[in-house]
Structures are given as structure tokens and as C-alpha cells.
Structure 1
Amino acid sequence: EHGAGNGHAVLHDITFTVPAGATVAVVGRMGSGKSTLLQLLPRLFDVTAGTITIDGQDIRTCSLAALRHWVGFVPQDPFLFSTLIKDNVAFALPEVDMTQVRQAASIANVARDIEDFPRAYDTVVGERGVTLSGGQKQRLTLARALAANTPILVLDDALSSVDVQTERAILHELRDSTRGKTVLVISHRISAVRDADLIVVLDEGRIMETGTHEELVARAGLYADIFQQQALEEELAEL
């Protein structure tokens, strides 16, 4: 359980297990508690009741420094330093390793964008550098988290500024290239996360359903309603 500053609980009776190496998607309507739930894992907040454990250890007993070695967090609003692209991506590394930097950029589907700049990875971004699109900033922030190579990766609607095809391609590449890594992802687009090993459906701070995409569609509940509504909206957008 987790409460907001006004004393009202935002999350209620949340219980689920994430198998190591699985990709888990958290979906639900706006305001359902998705971001709050995933922000508890890197301890941006602490739970007010109950526990969150990694390998059986309560994360509140870990130092934040130790937890950062376990959990990589990519927020919806990207943050980049006013420095070279390669230094941004390699921020968590002891020194810049261009092999790791290029690999992370490739998985994040931003390598081609970087290589289109005249100075490629030596391009300056930020106030005195090139202007990046929202999608490029998000993908660079994802590349930085990938380069850190944490066992757990949390994406808090971190690809909201890219189109649905790009988001789905990145998540596919994540699964293929980071086998053994546990990925938790929020997306407001179900079509991007339908291949997740487990989908957790939230509504008003409670888990309403869990299962695979196929299981949840067959159940004809909240998930199926959201999926059908989004599929119709995507079809209309293509007309």
C-alpha cells in the first residue's frame, strides 16, 4: 500500500510476483496508479504498508546506492546532461566504453539518429548543443540505463514520445538483447506491450486482472475494453 501526501492511499492491496528475467507490463487508464507503483521499486517513494522484495530482501534495507546497481529507472520526462552524447550514454560507467555505448544506442533504436549528426557520438546536446526531439531524448535516456546494465530495468512510460511501431520494436529488441534482465514497463499503448510475459491491469490503485494478452482479451474485462478502444482509435488514425 502507498499513500499520497493528503493521507489517502493511492495503491491498495497490491500483490504480485515478477519472475527473474521476465518482461512485465503495467497498464490501466490514466490515474490508475501505474507510475506510482513502478516508482516504488527504485525507492523514489517508500511503501507506507507492506514490503517490496528483490531476491527476498526488503528494498528498504538496501542503501540507495546499492539499489541503483540493481534497478535502472527510465522516467517519462527524459533528462540529459549538457555534454557529449557518448558521455550521456556512458554516465554510469567507470569510463566511456564505446562498444557498450554503441550497443546500448542500438537497442534503444537511437544509433541511426546519432550517426546522422556530423560529429556522431561526439555531438554536444543540451543548452549549447543540438536540439533533439522528445523521442530522441527518451531513447538516449533509455540507452543510458541500458549501458548501466542493471539486472532490473523499469520504464515509466519512457517511450511515450515515439510512435507505437517504434515503441514495440524497441521492446522486442530489449527482450531479444537483454535475456536474463527483468523488465517492468508502463505504456499507455497496449499494442506495444501485448507480447509481455505478464500484464498487470490497474484501476483506481488496485490490481483488476493479471495474465498474458491472449488470456486477458479472452476474459473480456477491463483490459479487453481498453484494448478494443485503442485498436479502434489506431484504425481511425490511419484513415
Structure 2
Amino acid sequence: MRPIDLGGLGIRNLEIMGWALQMRWLWIEKTKPNRPWAGLEVPVHSNTVALFAVSVVTSVGNGENTLFWSDRWLHGCSIENLAPNVFKCIPARLKKARTVKDALHELTWVSDIRGALGWQGLVEYLDLWDVLTDVILHVLVVNTTDDTHHWKFEASGNFSSKSAYRAFFAGSVSFEPWKRLWKSWAPSKCKTFIWLAIRNRCWTADRLQKRGLSHPARCPAVRPRRRDSPTSTHHMCLRPTVLV
């Protein structure tokens, strides 16, 4: 079910496609907060929420449509990543509701912290204070434009379900010969056989043996002196076969 350039057959994985389609709800909620259902609990999968959180980078304008604690707005990172020990001390309801504008107004973000930080949390708190010093002037005094959100998997910065689906395969190993294989003029059954051979998925004797299935003890298409040769995909396709 992987894309053909990643070694698969390009068949859509319906579960992952469903996650990608759900992500559009999160994108619309973020970019068009005036929708009637915006702010309600959107029923999306946890994998959708996790990928969306790392895929959207925000440029803060007036700070009214950017979540202070969870959005990636501070130098391309979220405060959750920059100060994880501080983030743990924030109530869940404030994580989902506190905007950048509200948090920076009279340093409201400081009062959001509940409980003891510990020495690591204190270090993160002081570093966060220094980073936010210049941001306060920029957001509350200078900038009056709206916040803009960028989908990093598209050059245009706009969300698409296609790029979201593709993003779920980020980090997969590429399948180098895919163009020479699938763009050739060979019949489909030949392409499929070559694909299986490259992936070592042909049901040769060695593969049958590994799974405890019935298989010939030797390759029947070689001379007696080579009867111990294993019947494998490599042996079948690459070695010169000498018929009996």
C-alpha cells in the first residue's frame, strides 16, 4: 500500500487516507476560525492530531488565532518542544485555549504555570522569558496583521489531503528503479513479476522452506553437479541456468 516510488503498488491505504481527510477539519478550524463548529471537539484520530501539530508553522501577526502553548510559532517550534517541563505544568484547558495575544498581555502566560517546576523547569522558564522579551513588543505594539499558518509539505503553504497522505510515509526508503519498472512498455504481468523479484517476494523454494511449506529439495533445472544449488529468486533470474 505504499506509493510506487517507495516500493509499493500505489494502492490507497484507506485508514491512512481517512486520517489525511480528517486533517482538513483541523486545517479549516485553524485558518477559518469563524466557522460555526470551530472550537468544538473535532473527532479525529490521535495520529492525525500528532502529524498536524508538526506540519503547520505559524507566522504570528496579532496573535489572536495562534495557541501560545501548543502551536509552532516561536522560531518554528512550539513551547511544548522548547520547554517541555514548563509545558507539563500547564492545565489542559489552557493549552487548548490560551492565544498568543492573551498570553503576552501583562505576562498572563506566567500565571498559567501551576505547581513546582523543578530545577530543569526553572532553567527552561528563564530561557523562555528571554526568548519572549522581543516577541511582546512585536505582537502587542508593532504588528496588527492576522496570523498566517503554513503547511510545510506544500510549496504554496496551503493544505492538501494528497500531501497529508504522503506525509504519513515520511522517512520511508525510496524504491530507486520504480521509473524504469513502471514506466516501461512491458505488459502489466511482466512488470508485476519483476517487482516481486526485486522485492524478493517470488514463491521460490527457499521462501517456501522458510515458512515450513512443501518445496522441492533441489532445483530441477540444473545439472546433477549443481543439484545442491538453492532455488531462490537470485538463482532463478540472475544465474545462467543449464538444463538437464
Question: Aligning the two structures, in what range does the TM-score lie when normalised by the shorter sequence?
Answer: under 0.3
Higher helix fraction (1 or 2) = 2
**Length-normalised TM-score, structure 2:** 0.21
Higher strand share: 1
Higher relative contact order (CA 8 A, sep 6+): 1
Larger radius of gyration: 2
